[in-house]
Every structure is written in structure tokens, then in C-alpha cells.
Structure 1
Amino acid sequence: MDDSIWVGVRERVQALIAAPGGDRVFGAIGHKFFLADPLTPAELADLEGQTGVSLPGEYRGFLLLVGAGGAGPSYGVYPVRLIQGRWRWEGDGAELADLSRLAEPFPREGADPEAVQLLLSEHPEEEDFEEIEDFDDAIEAWEERWEPLMWSADRTVGAIVISTLGCAAREWLIISGPERGRIWFDNRADDEDLKPLLDETGAPMTFTHWYLAWLEKAERQLASAPAAG
């Protein structure tokens, strides 16, 4: 993998820290355009050895030349850190990824759409119940059927949560399988299934495209911001 695509990217991101109007960029209120230090080759080797996988090449280059997390799309790229001798990604929902199963291929086929639609059609509505307790019981019973269909850990093997858009909407980086190196969108909190992110041409969104498209948009937004004073 040619890492030259990442040369100068860290400096471009850091240049945005002092740019006026930073709050115009979605999510910047959280990451403030700061990046964690890049990983050393030894740290990356330790991370991969511990998780039992070779990370996608584009992401490896990012970790080595740009940073171990921080400024990026939405509320930023989840940082990967060594905590008490164990590597882990940190951020809202990061714990959804089973790091012991990163070598298993990500199941891109998703949930059975007919089963999803059927269960959604049976979602209890509060106005159909005279007593709130009965409604609560019905919701609990429905969720017991919904959880294994949509939230089983088997749905996201071979992937890590890489970013959040807020309100439990997240983005995953696929580590293993045919979708390796691509970004998938997770809006299961709003009863939508996982789906691949697509670029402007309709092609699957790779990690590099995902990150650099964000950076270029942020640079354009801040270049057009009025100067302070």
C-alpha cells in the first residue's frame, strides 16, 4: 500500500485549528481539529499482534503518518490506545466491536429484510393500549425479538466502530472479509439496517476517500469563513 497519500495530511488538519469559523464544520465542536500522535511501527505491530489481524492498508498508513485518532469525519476518528497493556478503540459505541473476532469476515448480507419489515410492522404503539403498563410490557416483548435480529454481535464481526454522528448513529471500518477497508453506516438506533457508505459515484467508500473528502470539505468551509475582528 502506497502511504504517500497521507503525506502532509496531518499538517493540513492542524492548520485548521487556528482557522476562523471552526464551529461551521460538523463535529468540530468535539474534536477541535486536534489529532493524537501517530503510532510508531512498533506500536502498530503490537496492536496487530494483539488483535490477530493486519489492519487495512489505508488505515495503517493513517495511524502511522496522520494520527492514532482525533479530528475527522463527524465527531472524529475514534482513537486507538494502549490501556493497561491492552489496545482498544475509544468512543461512543466502540465496545460494540468484538476485538477477539476481528479476523472473521464481516457479514455484508445484513439481516433478513422480510423479517425486519415484519417485525417493524408489529411494533407496539402507545395509543393502542389503555394502560401504560401494558404498553411497556408489549415494548419489552417486542425488543426481545428485535435485539437478536438487529444487534447480534455476529452482525459486526470483523469490524470496528470508527466514528459517531451522534444520537447512536455510527460508522464502522471493516477489517476483514470482502468489504475490508470500507466504511459502513450504522443507524440501527432508528431501526435501519447497516449499509455501506457510497461515494459521489456510487462506489463503496474507502477509508481514504472517507477521510480526505471530509478534510477537503472542511478546508473549503473554513476558507470561506469571514475573518475575525
Structure 2
Amino acid sequence: MTNIDWSGVRDRVAALSTTPDAKVFGANGHGWLLDPPLRPAELAELEEQLGVRLPEDYRGFLLEVSRGGAGPFYGLFPLRRVDGRWRWEGDGADLTEIGTLGEPFPHTGPFNPAAELPEPPDEEDFGTVEEFNSAEDAYWELHDRVAYDPLHTVGAVYLCHLGCAYRHLLVVSGPERGAMWADDTADDGGFTPLAGPHGERIGFARWYLDWLDEATAKAREPLHG
């Protein structure tokens, strides 16, 4: 998606700053605060370090609105420049493999890396507690190695967390470039592209602006209880 009109977004977010946190999920995490946008030279440096051009709507947001802060769920992971290197910061932002963002995201449809794993061991199948504990430890070691393999998310940037280790990410390389995806591996749900009512992919701009519209509508509702 290109040519997004980001004008007025900062003002709309600022207007929500007096909204009680209870009305909009995650507002207590970002407090309706937006970091300053990136300068063009900063974006150029960021993309040079990443080795990839970010999707146009996200680039526009970074340049015209903010480098992070108020946004869906607990807010957008902010970009920070630390010791001359750019990175995203937040709960799960470190899952972004900075060095592989130029490689194609490996999925084009829902994918659950844990789907092919065997069932966890059953205590009734073991003669002793020690044998069961050993088998259980081995199973979960295998599970975590398979489910959380960083190869699953090359070419994608984690942008926010939803709580309980659920997160959303933006694909920046490969056939799914520009699409927002959900990472539900925390409950073995795998990875799923965010889609509209007709199955269309949802990009960053729609994801963010839909949230802003919804937050604005909720702010106008009476607070019950």
C-alpha cells in the first residue's frame, strides 16, 4: 500500500490521551504517547543497516508519524539507535532477526511448526517418575527447538505484543512483503496472516488505522461499571 495520508494521525492519538485506560485494551502500556518520527537520514541509515527497504506504508509512518509508541494492543515497538545501530525495543522485539531481514519470509499461508510434533509423554506410559520426568524434559526441549526456530521468521519484523506472548509482525521480504502476520506460537497456534473479510491481506497502514478508528469509537462510548 502506498500514498497513505498520515496527516492528522498524531493529533488523533493525542486527542485520545484523556481516554480511561479501561476503554481501550493495552492503553496502559503505551499511554497514548508517540515517539518523534524518523528523519529521512535516519531512515536511510536504518535501511542500510538492515539491508532491506521497509514496506512503503510503514516507511511513511516512520517518517510522518512516529518511530514507535501508541498503537495496537500494547503499542508499537519503538526504534532506538544504540551504539550506532538501530533496533526495535519491547517485549519480544528481540525476536526480530536483524541480520536476516533481507531474506524471504518462508511462509505464504498459515503455518504451525508444532503441528507435526508427537503428543507429549503420558505419565501412565512410564514405570517411574524419574523416567517420565526425563521423557518430558526431552519432549519440551524438542518442542521449543522446533516451535521457536528463528528460521520461521526471517524477513519479518516484530512490531507489537498482545499479552501472553502473542505478537504481531510485519513481513519485509519475500512474497508476503507488506503483510501483517500473527505469531501465536505461545499456545502452539503457529503463524497466520492477518486478513480482511474477503481473505485479503492486511498491511501495516490498515492494521494501524483500523486500530485508531476503533480506539476513537471506544473513547466515545460511555464507561460502564
TM-score (norm 2): 0.90
Correspondence for 2:101: 102
Does residue 14 in structure 1 map to residue 14 in structure 2? yes
Correspondence for 1:46: 45
Cα deviation 1:128-165 (Å, max 9, x = unaligned):
66755444322221123223322211111001110101
Correspondence for 2:34: 35
Residue 145 of structure 1 aligns to a residue in which SS?
Answer: helix
Q: Is the 8 A contact 2:68 2:78 kept in 1?
A: yes
Segments of structure 1 that go 5 or more residues without pairing to the other structure are none
2:208 to 192, 200, 211: 211
2:135 to 138, 144, 153: 138
Correspondence for 1:150: 147
Deviates more, 1:176-185 or 1:138-147: 138-147
Bigger share in helix: 1
* Distance (whole Å) between structure 1 residues aligned to residue 135 and residue 110 of structure 2: 23
Deviation for aligned residue 1:111: 8.8
Q: Is the 8 A contact 2:158 2:170 kept in 1?
A: yes
Q: Is the 8 A contact 2:160 2:168 kept in 1?
A: yes
Q: C-alpha root-mean-square deviation of aligned residues, in Å?
A: 2.3
Deviates more, 1:157-166 or 1:199-208: 199-208
* Distance (whole Å) between structure 2 residues aligned to residue 205 and residue 159 of structure 1: 15
Does residue 81 in structure 1 map to residue 80 in structure 2? yes
Cα deviation 1:50-83 (Å, max 9, x = unaligned):
1111111000000011100011111111101101
Q: Is the 8 A contact 2:23 2:223 kept in 1?
A: no
Cα deviation 1:170-214 (Å, max 9, x = unaligned):
111111111111111011110111111112332111111100010
Distance 1:129 1:159, change over 3 A: same
Residue 62 of structure 1 aligns to a residue in which SS?
Answer: helix
* Distance (whole Å) between structure 1 residues aligned to residue 91 and residue 214 of structure 2: 24
Residue 175 of structure 2 aligns to a residue in which SS?
Answer: coil
Distance 1:172 1:125, change over 3 A: farther
Give the number of aligned pairs: 224
Cα deviation 1:105-142 (Å, max 9, x = unaligned):
101157976x84442x5212456667554443222211
TM-score (norm 1): 0.89
Correspondence for 1:191: 188
Segments of structure 2 that go 5 or more residues without pairing to the other structure are none
Distance 1:151 1:11, change over 3 A: same
Correspondence for 2:166: 169
Distance 1:64 1:124, change over 3 A: same
Q: Which runs of 4+ in 1 moved over 3 A?
A: 1-4, 109-113, 115-118, 125-136
* Distance (whole Å) between structure 2 residues aligned to residue 174 and residue 101 of structure 1: 12
Deviates more, 1:126-135 or 1:100-109: 126-135
* Distance (whole Å) between structure 1 residues aligned to residue 4 and residue 119 of structure 2: 52
Q: Is the 8 A contact 2:4 2:205 kept in 1?
A: no
Deviation for aligned residue 1:9: 0.8
